Structures are given as C-alpha cells and as structure tokens.
Copies of this chain bind each other. A is one copy, B any other.
Amino acid sequence: MSIDIYVCWTVERRPRKGRLDMRVTKAQAEQNRAHIVATAARLFRERGYDGVGVAELMAAAGFTHGGFYKHFRSKADLMAEASASGLSQTAARTEGVDAAEFVERYVSREHRDGRGDGCTIAALSGDAARQPADIKTEFAAGIENLLTALQAQSDTPGDADQRATRTMVIDMLAHSVGAVMLSRACPDGSPLADEILDVCRAEILASLTHGNVDGSEAGGPEA
C-alpha cells in the first residue's frame, strides 16, 4: 500500500485561441445545412444510422462536429430529415419513368452495388423498422410518393378503377426491394447474389407484361 499525492492547479476554464473566417452568409449557412443533410443521407444509406457518427458525418461534409447542433436538435432529428431527403430524391428520380424501366434500373447490379447513391428504401428500411415513429412516418410518406410517381406512368387514362394500378405498383415495389435486399445480403460477387437479381428482374418484368389484370384475389386491406 502506497500513498500518492497529486497537486493540481484548477484553472477556471482554459482560454481558447481564435481562428479566421468565422460567420457565414445566411444563404451560405442554408446551403451548408442542405449539404450536411445530403451527406448524411448518403452515409446513412452506406453504413446505416448507427454506422455513422456525428463527428465523422460533419467531417465528411467539411465541418467540425461542434457546429452540428446549430443546425439540428439531435442526431435523431437529422436521421429523420436525411431519410426524408433521400426518399424524396428517389421519388423525384422516378418521375416519368415507366414500370419496366424502373425495374430494369432498380433490380440491377449497379443499384445493388451502389448503396450510397441508391434507393433509401432498399438501403434503410431494415433499420427504419427499429426506429421511432417519426422516421417510419417519413418512410411511409416517401413510399407513398414513389407509388404516386410510378402510378402516374402506368395509369391508363380513362380507367375508372385505378385500384388495380396501385395494387400492381405496390406489389412491384415490394418485389423489387426484396430482390435488391436479398442480393445485398449475399457475399459480394457470389453466384447466388447475381442469380437472385437476374431471376427476380426477369420475373417482375414478365409479371408486368402478363399482367395480373383481374383484381379478384388482390383485394385491398380490411380497413
């Protein structure tokens, strides 16, 4: 047993040295904020919500971590905003794209291998399932927007019953999302990963032309 004696000068709080070029234009600040959101959307898609820290994220956007809370109340807030941003981007990109072209692009190696630049639904719906209501609400809104974009291209004008189109579009989206997610869960470059993608793409495209036009069994939800 020994006796140690520590002597320490407690300074009130250490003085900070200054730096140049502070304060930024209001417009610039808004632009910076948008850039942080876009960077976060990409990083979250690549590594998941838990896979990216605030400091790393801010560094990737070209800032230090301290300023984060001048823009967002918390990381959770940014998660919701970045999700909304990513989801609306996917919907916007789909504007004017018909079902077949959507499937060709979505159920592809390029999409599967480019998670950061791809669809937020395929990249983060597994994570979203465990997140609080605000994020799930953003996902539901994002999915709904994407469905609307897809439906706009597939609706036969004059078709009084748009129910069938919505059914088709919902089913096609879930089918495509499942194909990409399943393929991504397999080792990179494994035969199964490619097989899933190729089989599903062909089957989804085939189902579009065959067209399950009768809505007999494809009834809506009970509600």
Give residues in A with beta carbon < 8 Å to B. Answer: 1-12, 46-48, 50-51, 115, 121, 123-130, 133, 136-137, 139-140, 143-144, 167, 170-171, 173-179, 181-182, 184-188, 190-200, 202-203, 205-207, 210, 212, 217-223
**Number of identical protomers:** 2
What's the Cα separation between A115 and B167 when bound, in Å?
Answer: 25
Q: 24 A-B Cβ contacts within 8 A?
A: A1-B10, A3-B8, A4-B9, A4-B10, A6-B7, A6-B8, A47-B130, A48-B127, A115-B129, A126-B126, A129-B184, A129-B185, A133-B187, A136-B185, A137-B187, A140-B187, A143-B185, A170-B200, A173-B178, A174-B179, A175-B200, A181-B181, A191-B221, A194-B223
Q: How far is the CB of A185 from chain B (nearest CB, A)?
A: 4
Taking a contact as CB atoms under 8 Å apart, the answer to whether B140 and A186 are in contact is: yes
Q: A-side binding surface: helix, strand, loop or mixed?
A: helix
CA distance A102 to B178 in the complex (A): 16
A201–B127 Cα distance when bound, in Å, is 23
The closest CB in chain B to the CB of A172 belongs to B203
Given contacts A7-B5, A188-B136, contact A174 B175 (CB under 8 A): yes
CA of A218 to CA of B137, assembled, Å: 36
Shortest C-beta distance, A134 to chain B (Å), equals: 9
Which residues on the B side are within 8 Å of A178 (C-beta)? Answer: 173-179, 181
Contacts known (A127-B48, A167-B199); A193 close to B223, Cβ less than 8 A: no
Ranked nearest first, the 10 interchain pairs of A and B with the lowest CB-CB distance are: A126-B126, A178-B178, A129-B184, A125-B185, A50-B50, A174-B178, A128-B185, A6-B6, A202-B218, A171-B203
How distant is the Cα of A179 from the Cα of B198 in the complex, in angstroms?
19
